[in-house]
Structures are given as C-alpha cells and as structure tokens.
Amino acid sequence: MPLNDLYRTLLDRLAAGLVQLPDKPEETPESTLRALWYTAAGQPRSVMAARDGDLPALPADGAPRQILERLVDRRLAGVPLAHLTGRQHFMGLEMLAGPAALVPRRETELLARAAIELAHRMSVRVLDVCTGCGNLALAIARHVPHAEVFGADLSADAVTLAIRNAVHLGLDARVQFRAGDLLMPFDTPDFHGQVDLLTCNPPYISSARIGTMADEIASHEPRLAFDGGPFGVTILLRLIDEAPRFLRRGGWLAFEVGLGQGAALVKRLQGHAHFREVRPLLDDDGAIRAILACGT
C-alpha cells in the first residue's frame, strides 16, 4: 500500500472510531495519527510536538508499518495516546508518560502558570505533593531557575517516573522527589515554616463517579491519582489543614480542584485562621479550577 494510501486509511479508521475526551481536545484523529506515526518510526513525541513538519518515511514493507497499525488498533481500543507514545507535552516540556502516573492535562496548566508567576516573585522553596510524573514541579523548576523544588507522591512508581522525567529534562540537579503520603516526606524541622509555595494537583474525583468515567481513564490510568474519596475532597481537605505547618509567613498554597468543588473550598479557606487571601482561578468557561491561598 503506498504511503499516502496508508495514511488516509488509518486516518479514516481513527475518524470513525476514536473517542476523543473533553480534557484532551488536542488529540484529534489527525494529530493522533501523526504522533503514532512518529512513534512507529522510532522518533516518539507527544501529540503537541507531532503536529507540525513532514512525517518521517516508513519503509514500504516491514516492521514500522506493522507497528503503526498495531498502535492505531490499541488507540482505538482505548489505550491512552500518551501511553502509546511514551510522551506528553506540558508547559513547554516534552515529558515522559506512562501508566505509573496520571497523564498531565492541559487544564492543569492554569495552576502551573499561576504557580510560576508566584514563584518568580519569591526567593523560593517549592513543595509539590501528589506530584505524579512530576509535571508541576518540573515546570516550575524550568521556568523559575532560582527555585529550589521538591516533589512527593504516595505511589513509588509515580516517583520513579518523576525522577526519570527530571533526568530526561536535565533538571535532576535542581528537583528532588520523595515517596510518601501527602506532606509526610517533608515532616521535619527543615521544612516546617520554610516553604514559600506549596502546590498540588490532587485526586478529586468522588469514588462513586469512577464507575462512570471513560474507560480510557478508569481502566488505564492509576486510580490512586484520581480517586478523591466519597465526596472527592478527602485529599483537598487534608491539604488545607496540613499546609499551614509548612508555609512561611506569606507563603502560598496553590491547588487544582474538580468541577463544582471550587466555591465551597474557597469559602472554607476564607474562614480558615491561617489564610488571609484567597484567589479562585477560572477556566475559559468561568468555572473555578484552581485556588491560590496566602498564609498568614
């Protein structure tokens, strides 16, 4: 089959059968095929990095074409694109991705941009908890060269992926990752009252909703990364209560929230004795998707 015929055939299959998730609008049939094509050619890249330029040649016969067709089959079967390419773009970083941690979403860039803006104003020590593959911690480190950055995750597998990402991005000398439950890896005098910025993209999906989630998420991404307990806010409430012990005077807490959770959490923070300023961050639809809170 000529190369252009192969492309059209596979694109038609993806156009007919691909289930595109709302939180991954960049993964269109064409951009998906381009990302898989680069992967089959031995040049893996994220869907964002694969959008432009000439596609690499594939031999007329042989393994790369067979690999590409199998990749398309697996994508149509619901395997996340980032798991197939091993790459995901986040805040200008071409990151390693895989089933050990939640695939970074564009929606989290709202929180990342705000955290980077705050970090630029401070001589900054940053803690990023529920770090997953390390995307927030590493984005802050890349965009704020003077920042001292630490990350932690309950999942040892996620921490391993985060460390690999730090090496992959050349940031391993500036970012340290630890395994443990929320802030416990930093529960020492060295960190008590010594943190300028505490960030978190926590699990915030209620346990009851997990059965209704897209199979691409529920069956392929780690439940630990999105199950937020009975009401979806178990980790968020812990974070709010535990953060003041670590923040410097005037330090900031910055975290992502699920749809519909923002107003109640803003109110809780406004009534909290250890926070004096609360800023909700709105997405393009006007929903609160992240919150910044300044400690007293």
User: What is the residue-averaged pLDDT of the chain?
Assistant: 94
pLDDT for the residue numbered 245:
97
Amino acid identity of residue 237, one-letter, is: L
Task: Please state, in angstroms and rounded to a whole number, the distance separating the CA atoms of residues 132 and 51.
Answer: 26
Report which of 94, 137, 133 is spatially closest to residue 116, judged by C-alpha positions.
137
Residue 3 reports pLDDT greater than 90: no
Task: Please state, in angstroms and rounded to a whole number, the distance separating the CA atoms of residues 76 and 29.
Answer: 10
Give the pLDDT band of residue 190 (cuts 50, 70, 90).
very high
Give the pLDDT band of residue 2 (cuts 50, 70, 90).
low
Report which of 135, 86, 85 is spatially closest to residue 113, judged by C-alpha positions.
135
Residue 1 reports pLDDT greater than 70: no
Residue 143 reports pLDDT greater than 90: yes
Radius of gyration of the chain measured on its C-alpha atoms = 20
Q: Where are the domains of the chain?
A: 3-85, 106-295
pLDDT for the residue numbered 212:
84
Q: What 3-state DSSP class applies to 282?
A: strand
Residue 223 reports pLDDT greater than 80: yes
**Per DSSP, what are the bridge partners of residue 247?**
195
Q: What 3-state DSSP class applies to 147?
A: coil
pLDDT for the residue numbered 174:
95
Residue 175 reports pLDDT greater than 80: yes
pLDDT per residue as tens digits for the range 45-64: 999 999 988 999 887 767 89
- Beta strand segments in 5-115, E: 87-90, 93-96
Taking the model in full, what pTM does it have?
Answer: 0.93
Task: Please state, in angstroms and rounded to a whole number, the distance separating the CA atoms of residues 245 and 19.
Answer: 44
Residue reference for tokens 């009975």 = 230
- Beta strand segments in the chain, E: 87-90, 93-96, 125-129, 148-153, 175-179, 195-200, 247-256, 275-282, 288-295
pLDDT for the residue numbered 186:
97
Are 261 and 293 within 8 A, CB to CB? no
**Domain over 106-295 is classified CATH 3.40.50.150:** yes
pLDDT per residue as tens digits for the range 83-134: 999 999 999 999 999 999 999 999 999 999 999 999 998 878 999 999 999 9
